[in-house]
């Protein structure tokens, strides 16, 4: 559902005209990225808690993330090569192509070389900055788990610290630059800024017994969301109701809604888990359609679904079968 929200937002913003602005504005109130971070904080910590073996944990994380990431990187490279062949600039700097591929399958997903600025929107796959944040969070989970066993309430303390940096860090760090960007811009690609969203999910998992006990109170999140959306009280660290930089109160109400749907509705088992493929492929598809001058939201959705299904059937699912222990199996 949240992958679809991201796809629609980016599709409407980049392939349609201003007549869709009202739809885009509405969709921005239910951003997919913060939802992904919250769910990841819950599931990834739960995964390590169920099987606290670093070797097994990192193998599982690798098998879930990197095969699909390598596949979409090859797709992105194909789009760049196609664009440059038509513009006559292909092959001018082969090293840049190779370096970009390496960056995409390691920790440099947000890097886009100047030589690629003429491709589509100017950024081959801008949505992948969240993958960098996800990977770094994966690395921190075993450390958080170990330190939490030594220092009670560490997760809560980290949650508060990350939120304060998220709320005030840009103002405090704006004067300090590294190259053309300030320090906050670099931290925005790490869990230092977004960690509180992950850690709220972790706190929910660690206190799941209380969440279950007082589950009926989660429904309060719905009127809170409606109130904050309707009255649009502006941007603040507590009340912002649109975009990825949500306010604390709105985000908590948003997460309450997610929990209600996750635990308060019948479980639906999906035969094909294409959500990851949908997310990582859609911007590559949008760039390709812009290059060939087909600005169709429907074509973008259909092509993205097709590629995500191919990714799942031929790449992701075969690799996931190599996992020894999965959270889904333990559940």
The Cα–Cα gap between 193 and 195 comes to: 6
Average pLDDT over residues 89-93: 80
What pLDDT, on a 0 to 100 scale, did the predictor assign at position 329?
46
Tell me what the mean pLDDT of segment 262-273 comes to: 84
Regarding predicted confidence, which is higher, 309 or 265? Answer: 309
Q: Look over the chain and give the mean of its residue pLDDT values, rounded to a whole number.
A: 93
Higher pLDDT, 29 or 178: 29
Report percent pLDDT > 70 for the chain.
97
> Within the chain, what is the greatest distance between any pair of CA atoms?
64
pLDDT at 91 over 50: yes
| Lookup: tokens for 279 | 């997310």
Residue from 135, 144, 127 nearest 202 by CA: 144
SS3 181: strand
Per-residue pLDDT at 326: 55
Q: How many CB atoms lie within 10 A of CB 98?
A: 11
pLDDT score of 137 more than 90: yes
Strand 181-182 and strand 177-178: the pairing is: antiparallel
pLDDT at 331: 45
Question: Residue 17: its pLDDT value, please?
Answer: 67
Assess whether pLDDT exceeds 60 at residue 163: yes
Contact 159, 137 (CB under 8 A): no
Determine the pLDDT at residue 330. Answer: 46
Q: How far apart are CA 246 and CA 329, in angstroms?
A: 33
- Residue with the bigger pLDDT between 270 and 176: it is 176
Q: Among 241, 237, 258, which Cα is nearest to 250's? A: 241
Kindly tell me if the per-residue pLDDT of 268 is higher than 80. Answer: no
Spatial distance between the Cα atoms of 48 and 149, rounded to a whole number of angstroms: 13
**33 class by beta-carbon count within 10 Å (0-12 exposed, 13-18 middle, 19+ buried):** buried
Contact yes or no for 254/221 (Cβ under 8 A)? yes
Q: Average pLDDT of 5-34?
A: 89
pTM of the model: 0.94
**Of residues 228, 209, 256, 57, the one with CA closest to residue 143:** 57
Which residue, 212, 69, 182, is CA-closest to 134? 69
List, in order, residues 6 or more apart from 7 with CB less than 8 Å away: 278, 279, 282, 300, 301, 304
Interval 144-159: pLDDT, tens: 999 999 999 999 999 9
**Does residue 269 surpass a pLDDT of 80?**
no
The pLDDT-based confidence of 323 (bands split at 50, 70, 90) is confident
For residue 313 the two structure tokens come to 């059937």
Mean pLDDT across 166-182: 89
Which tokens go with 315?
């790449």
d(CA 85, CA 55): 43
Strand residues in 75-142 grouped as ranges (E): none
Q: Under a CB-based contact definition with an 8 Å cutoff, are residues 36 and 2 in contact?
A: yes
Q: If you average pLDDT over residues 1-9, what whole number do you get?
A: 92
Confidence band (pLDDT; 50, 70, 90) for 75? very high
Percent of the chain scoring above 90 in pLDDT: 84
Q: Is the pLDDT assigned to residue 76 strictly greater than 70?
A: yes
51 or 313: which carries more pLDDT confidence? 313
Per-residue pLDDT tens digits for 180-193: 888 999 999 999 99
> Of 75, 64, 133, 131, whose CA–CA distance to 101 is shortest?
75
With left for phi above 0 and alpha for psi between -120 and 50, is residue 190 left, alpha or beta? beta
Q: Is 109 helix (H, G, I), strand (E, B) or coil?
A: coil
Q: Please give the average per-residue pLDDT across 319-329, as a whole number.
A: 71
């Amino acid at each position: 559902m949240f992958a679809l929200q991201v796809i629609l937002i980016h599709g409407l913003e980049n392939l349609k005209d201003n007549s869709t602005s009202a739809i885009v504005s509405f969709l921005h109130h239910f951003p997919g990225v913060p939802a992904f971070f919250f769910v990841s904080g819950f599931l990834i910590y739960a995964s390590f808690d169920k099987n606290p073996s670093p070797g097994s944990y990192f193998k599982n994380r690798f098998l879930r993330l990197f095969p699909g990431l390598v596949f979409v990187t090859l797709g992105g490279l194909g789009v760049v090569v196609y664009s440059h062949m038509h513009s006559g600039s292909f092959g001018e700097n082969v090293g840049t192509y190779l370096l970009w591929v390496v960056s995409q399958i390691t920790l440099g997903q947000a890097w886009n070389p100047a030589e690629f600025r003429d491709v589509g929107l100017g950024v081959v796959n801008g949505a992948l900055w969240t993958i960098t944040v996800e990977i770094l969070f994966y690395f921190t989970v075993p450390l958080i788990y170990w330190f939490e066993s030594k220092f009670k309430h560490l997760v809560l303390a980290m949650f508060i610290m990350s939120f304060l940096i998220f709320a005030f860090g840009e103002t405090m760090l704006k004067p300090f630059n590294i190259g053309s960007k300030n320090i906050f811009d670099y931290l925005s690609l790490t869990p230092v800024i977004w960690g509180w969203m992950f850690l709220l999910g972790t706190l929910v998992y660690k206190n799941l017994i209380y969440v279950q006990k007082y589950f009926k109170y989660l429904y309060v999140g719905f009127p809170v969301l409606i109130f904050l959306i309707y009255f649009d009280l502006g941007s603040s660290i507590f009340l912002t109701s649109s975009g990825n930089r949500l306010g604390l109160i709105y985000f908590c109400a948003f997460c309450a809604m997610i929990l209600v749907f996750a635990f308060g509705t019948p479980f639906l088992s999906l035969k094909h888990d294409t959500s990851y493929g949908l997310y990582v492929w859609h911007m590559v598809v949008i760039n390709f359609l812009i290059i060939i001058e087909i600005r169709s939201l429907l074509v973008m959705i259909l092509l993205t679904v097709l590629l995500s299904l191919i990714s799942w059937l031929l790449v992701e699912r075969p690799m996931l079968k190599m996992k020894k222990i999965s959270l889904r199996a333990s559940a």
